[in-house]
């Protein structure tokens, strides 16, 4: 079957037909992408994130599964490089979010133009590629569970993670006080620069005397991305009636909640998954949130550190680097493909 334009473009894509370890199941394949037809746009990948949730999808442990075979990758920014007949928007050269459902670890995709989420100009391309998962997660964690006022304290583990850095940056922006828990106190300088008010090591015993770090002020909100013993420490650190929100489990250990904190301190245990929140909202609500986040990305108020960049063809090295401890930022795919 011929494309609407009669043209096809060979592209590189990272595909998997079964779940498992990325090195075992991902294949680099060449696909033919058609030129855009009526109502369609051809979008070329410019920058794509490598997330732990990508690993979860590939190995079959994430909260939702994709129909197989599929292209890997959830989050990326692409450039509109061609439009179907009669279309004038989005503009050629505009940055848009690559459609997640199609998989984004691919050099290009054809998509309905009306469904593309436009990215405002002035945002660095890598931060644009990282705009739709971690910044909204940090935003909702700070907005949806506790009403915080300027000067109020919160605490989070995984302080050096992407969401941990963003929570610290947003805390500084909103005037909140953030106690960041890190595996190693050597991260203190980085986290203080990001916006944390204080930094403690995971195994320092901080939960026994949290007032030492807050000047006696209560900690109303705790954010957990680790699990295991770490979340138990957060439970002990929050004030009476405090809320502990779990949004990740990078340790893969069961959550260990202290019974005494549940009974005598009446703490609340909650969970958050951005995918569920997005699908439960009208598109206008999601767009309104992004309209608040985009200016912060453009001004550099929010910025996720970048550890390395790889072309798609070096995907094995990229994934090994991305899931290495202590990498110091996001590992990204970069692409310069043009039709």
* Residue 5, number of CB atoms within 10 A of its CB: 15
Q: Which residues pair with 334 in a beta bridge?
A: 47
Q: Is 62 in the active site?
A: yes
- Give the active site residue among 8, 62, 247, 310: 62
> What is the number of other CB atoms lying within 10 angstroms of the CB of residue 64?
11
**Residues ≥6 apart with Cβ < 8 Å to 140:** 272, 274, 277, 289
Using CA atoms, how far apart are residues 226 and 250, in angstroms rounded to an integer?
Answer: 5
3-state secondary structure of 5: coil
Query: Which tokens in the block code for residue 240?
Result: 């009476």
SS3 7: coil
Q: Are 206 and 213 in contact (CB under 8 A)?
A: yes
Catalytic site positions: 62
């Amino acid at each position: 079957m011929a494309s609407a334009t009669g043209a096809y473009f060979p592209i590189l894509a990272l595909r998997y037909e079964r779940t498992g370890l990325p090195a075992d199941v991902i294949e680099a394949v060449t696909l033919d992408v058609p030129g855009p037809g009526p109502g369609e746009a051809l979008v070329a990948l410019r920058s794509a994130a490598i997330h732990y949730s990508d690993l979860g999808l590939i190995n079959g442990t994430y909260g939702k599964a994709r129909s197989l075979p599929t292209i890997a990758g959830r989050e990326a920014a692409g450039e509109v490089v061609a439009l179907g007949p009669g279309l004038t928007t989005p503009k050629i050269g505009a940055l848009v979010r690559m459609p997640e459902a199609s998989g984004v670890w691919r050099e290009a995709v054809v998509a309905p133009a009306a469904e593309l989420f436009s990215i405002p100009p002035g945002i660095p391309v890598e931060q644009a590629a990282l705009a739709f998962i971690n910044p909204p997660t940090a935003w909702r964690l700070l907005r949806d569970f506790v009403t915080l006022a300027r000067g109020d304290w919160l605490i989070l583990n995984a302080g050096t993670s992407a969401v941990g850095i963003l929570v610290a940056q947003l805390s500084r922006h909103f005037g909140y006080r953030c106690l960041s828990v890190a595996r190693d106190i050597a991260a203190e300088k980085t986290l203080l620069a990001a916006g944390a008010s204080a930094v403690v090591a995971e195994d320092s015993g901080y939960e026994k005397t949290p007032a030492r770090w807050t000047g006696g002020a209560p900690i109303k909100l705790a954010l957990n991305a680790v699990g295991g013993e770490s979340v138990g420490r957060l439970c002990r650190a929050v004030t009476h009636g405090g809320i502990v929100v779990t949004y990740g489990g990078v340790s893969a250990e069961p959550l260990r909640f202290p019974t005494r904190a549940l009974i005598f301190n009446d703490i609340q245990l909650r969970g958050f998954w951005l995918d569920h929140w997005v699908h439960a909202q009208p598109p206008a609500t999601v767009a309104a949130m992004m309209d608040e986040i985009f200016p912060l990305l453009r001004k550099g108020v929010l910025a996720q550190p970048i550890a390395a960049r790889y072309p798609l063809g070096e995907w094995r090295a990229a994934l090994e680097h991305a899931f290495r401890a202590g990498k110091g930022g996001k590992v990204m795919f970069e692409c310069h493909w043009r039709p």
